[in-house]
Chain A
Amino acid sequence: MTATRVQVVVNGQPESFPADTTLGALISRLRPSRTGIAVAVGDDVVPRAEWDDRPLRHGDQIEILTAVQGG
């Protein structure tokens, strides 16, 4: 069981994904677009160029941040 699924938290919500899921695949599943967002894992923003090479790890605290334009 634990070998095939990885448990993470996305914007405060527990989520479960197949063990080989990358951060990029998670974004594609949860957001309609890859632009205008930043993704932090723990206390670090992961540059977009690294999303597809970063596998999800058990317990990752993921925060998808949306760019806002207001001022």
Chain B
Amino acid sequence: MSAAPVKLPPLVEPASELTVDEVRRYSRHLIIPDVAMDGQKRLKNARVLCVGAGGLGSPALMYLAAAGVGTLGVIEFDTVDESNLQRQIIHGQSDIGRSKAQSARDSVREINPYVNVVLHEERLDSENVMEIFSQYDLIVDGTDNFATRYLVNDACVLLNKPYVWGSIYRFDGQAAVFWSEHGPCYRCLYPEPPPPGMVPSCAEGGVLGVLCGSIGAIQVTEAIKLLTGIGEPLVGRLMIYDALEMTYRTVKVRKDPECAVCGKNPTVTELIDYEAFCGAVSEEAIEAARDSTITPATLKQWIDAGENIQIIDVREPAEYQIVSIPGATLIPKNEFIMGDALSKLPQDKRVVLHCKSGVRSAEVLALVKAAGFSDAVHVGSGIVGWVNQIEPHKPIY
């Protein structure tokens, strides 16, 4: 037996009126009976915060703006990079190097000048999150790391704000509305992040650009439904999208009575240190890398001097195809974790590990050292550092 559909009242009271210009602009909404004047006035009165103006934030902000959400907040500290443009469609070629927040604001104004854009050009953290979130009705999450996702979740639970969540990787996307007053929160689904280094970011593993549109559009749909009180919100359900199979399916998610933040006996009653909670690098890797981290310049010296070393590249094959260090052997990190990669390492040479930026190689270094390769080292800044300092004509990604 399936539970009764969730039905929630509108999150926002309607604005007093729409102008003649607004009526013309929103006419295709106004003639949908479920939205109509009332719904459009609610959107006009709505205050929505988008955390991040990147992959998910781009389509989210653009469609929220076009839909007529009256106030759109953007929290973003980063600048536009060329590698963003494959998916972050709110930014363009001429925006490279600009503040993403300002670039997003300009695009939103071009889409809909009736939207009031509020920029928060800072990194979201435990110090500023409560003050910023309290100014909005609903939070749309487009961040790219676990630490911020848990921060956003916990702040939303503490402030009782609906958290319209989405995340993407390669061809897979997930979306849900977490709202502890009416259903589960993010921690009810994923109580803790994966171990550091276990799940790659989009920067490490890649993402199909259009996936941002697929998932961002679901988030905007859910935001509009919550603001106007129509339909059945994605509360208590997780949407799972597989672009390769082209399947969408939902699974039910219950509130976890043991949840650390919204359960019966919460242990998280105020914001915590999210960087420590999610740990970019494990304790073991930090310990292994201590006194066993070299610079690209040192590696170059060792190569030139003919030192007895074996360079092991622990990235994925697709990354190796883009750029590699001369003489490096590819053994992806996962082969060290799940497979028999240790048997492929030379016993009579010093092992030098590297990855893209030093996180994965530090994790592998811990495993390699524990297996007895005590003089193994890793390149702290990875191949990004190598290209920047030693072979600047090669591409980075």
Contacts and interface: CB of A to CB of B under 8 A. Distances in A.
A66 B205 CA distance: 14
A44 B194 contact: no
Given A32-B337, A37-B194, A38-B190, A69 B256 contact: no
Interface stretch (B38-46, B246-254, B323-331): B246-254
Interface in B126-167: 141-146, 149, 166-167
Given A49-B257, A49-B258, A69-B144, A63 B251 contact: yes
A32 B198 CA distance: 9
B366 to A, nearest CB: 14
Contact of B194 (A35, A47, A71): A35
Contact of A71 (B167, B337, B338): B167
Contacts of A63: 251
A62 to B, nearest CB: 11
B258 A67 contact: no
Interface in B203-224: 205, 207
A29 B376 CA distance: 30
A48 B260 CA distance: 12
Contacts of B250: 43
Nearest to B238: A45
A67 B193 contact: yes
A53 to B, nearest CB: 12
A3 to B, nearest CB: 29
B55 A48 contact: no
Contacts, number: 99
A27 to B, nearest CB: 13
B168 A44 contact: no
B192 A36 contact: yes
B251 A68 contact: no
Nearest to B236: A45
B195 interface: yes
B169 interface: yes
Given A65-B240, A71-B144, A71-B167, A36 B256 contact: no
Interface in A24-70: 32-33, 35-38, 40, 43-45, 47-49, 63, 65-70
Residue with the greatest number of chain A CB neighbours at <10 A, chosen from B168, B199, B238: B199
Interface residues on A, range: 20 to 34
Interface string B169-198: 100101000000000000011111111001
B296 interface: no
B292 interface: no
A32 B333 CA distance: 14
15 contacts: A32-B337, A35-B194, A36-B190, A40-B251, A43-B252, A44-B252, A45-B238, A45-B251, A49-B257, A67-B190, A67-B194, A68-B174, A71-B52, A71-B57, A71-B168
Given A43-B251, A71-B57, A66 B194 contact: yes
A3 B77 CA distance: 59
Given A36-B194, A38-B190, A69 B201 contact: yes
A48 B256 contact: yes
Contact of A35 (B143, B195, B207): B195
B54 interface: yes
Sorted nearest first, the 6 A-B pairs with minimum C-beta distance are: A36-B194, A70-B202, A68-B169, A47-B256, A49-B258, A35-B192
